[in-house]
Structure formats: structure tokens, C-alpha cells
Amino acid sequence: MLTVEQVMASQKASIETLLGLTSKAFEGVEKIVELNLTASKAALAETGEHAKAMLSVKDAQELMALQSSLLQPLAEKTAAYSRHLYDIASSSTAELSKTFEGQTAEAQKKFMGLVDTAAKNAPAGSETAVAVMKSAVVAANNALESVQKAVKQATDAAESNFNAVAASAVDAAKPVAKKR
């Protein structure tokens, strides 16, 4: 049977975990806000420079050359921004997952301890019920591990796809910029 101290310790650990996860989530949001502010400032400065350059254009050919010279850097900056945004999201997700996995492992360990304690104190003849309970816990743990592995594989696949799309976007902009 759980004591008041055990319940209080469990609640305290849960609150600390929740506060830690909230802090990590806010760190991710702060990084995204900082990235967006930096990108916005850079875009504003570049827009001003572009407007000045457009005002100094003397003919259509010079205008076309100016426009094409901006296309490749824009594609590269967009890809870099997307990559940075993806890295922030991935990092935040990895930290949250790591914390969650640690808490899950600890909770599983405590639960198995309770099952073992209950088994020791169980009345005679209940061995079968205890064995079924332990088997169910092991099966649930195995299912959770399978889900975690599947999520990891899906995340890795998504990252590979993202990298391929970003690289192809930059590569696609190169010939267009050269043609003009």
C-alpha cells in the first residue's frame, strides 16, 4: 500500500517534470521568435537595398539581371531559414521526448516495484493472477518501446525528406538565376 509520503513524492516529481517540460517548450518558442525577428530585420534591410537598386536601373536588361541576381540568394536564405526552424523544432522535440522517456522508465520501474510488493503480500493461490499482471506490464512496456522506435524512425525519415526538399529547392533556383 502506498504511504502518504510516497504519494506526495510522486506528486512533487510530477509537478517538477511538468515545470521542466513547460520551460523547455518556452525555450523553443523563444528561439523561434528570435529567428523570426532576425529574419524579419534582414528581410527589411534587403528590401531597402533592393528598392534602391531598382531605382538606379537604366534599362530592362539591367532590371532582368538585377532580378535574377536576387533569386539564388533568396532560395538559399529561405532554405537556411527553414533548416534553422526545423532544427529548433527537432531539438525541442528531442528534449521533450528524452524527458518523457526518462519519466516513463521511472514510472514503469516504480509500477513494477508495486507489482512485486503486491505479489509478495498476495494471499496463497494468487500466483497465477500475479503472473498475468506481470505479463501484462511487460507486454505494455514492449508496446511502448515499439511505438517509441516507430516515432524515431518516422522522425528520421521526415528529416531526410526535409533535407532533400531543401537541397532540391536551392538547386532548382540555380539554373533559373543563371538563365536570366
Q: How far does CA 125 lie from the centroid of its chain?
A: 49
Could you read off the pLDDT of 56-91 as tens digits, one per residue?
Answer: 889 888 888 888 887 778 778 888 888 888 888 888
The C-alpha cell that represents 137 in the structure block: 506490464
The span from the CA of 97 to the CA of 130, in Å, is 31
pTM of the model: 0.55
CA 79, 83, 87 angle in degrees (round to 5)?
175
Residue type, 124: A
Could you read off the pLDDT of 80-125 as tens digits, one per residue?
Answer: 888 888 888 888 877 777 777 777 777 777 767 766 776 677 677 7
Give yes or no for residue 28 having a pLDDT over 60: yes
Q: Are 21 and 99 in contact (CB under 8 A)?
A: yes
The C-alpha cell that represents 162 in the structure block: 526535409
CA 46, 47, 52 angle in degrees (round to 5)?
95
Region 144-148: what's the mean pLDDT? 71
Task: Mark 103-119 as b/e (b = at least 16 C-beta within 10 Å).
Answer: beeeeeeeeeeeeeeee
Q: Name the residue ranges covered by the structural domains of the chain.
A: 4-179
For the residues of 119-180, what is the DSSP string, one character each?
A: HHHSPTT-HHHHHHHHHHHHHHHHHHHHHHHHHHHHHHHHHHHHHHHHHHHHHHHHHHHHH-
Task: Report which of residues 152 and 85 the model is more confident about.
Answer: 85
The total of other beta-carbon atoms located within 10 Å of residue 79's CB is 19
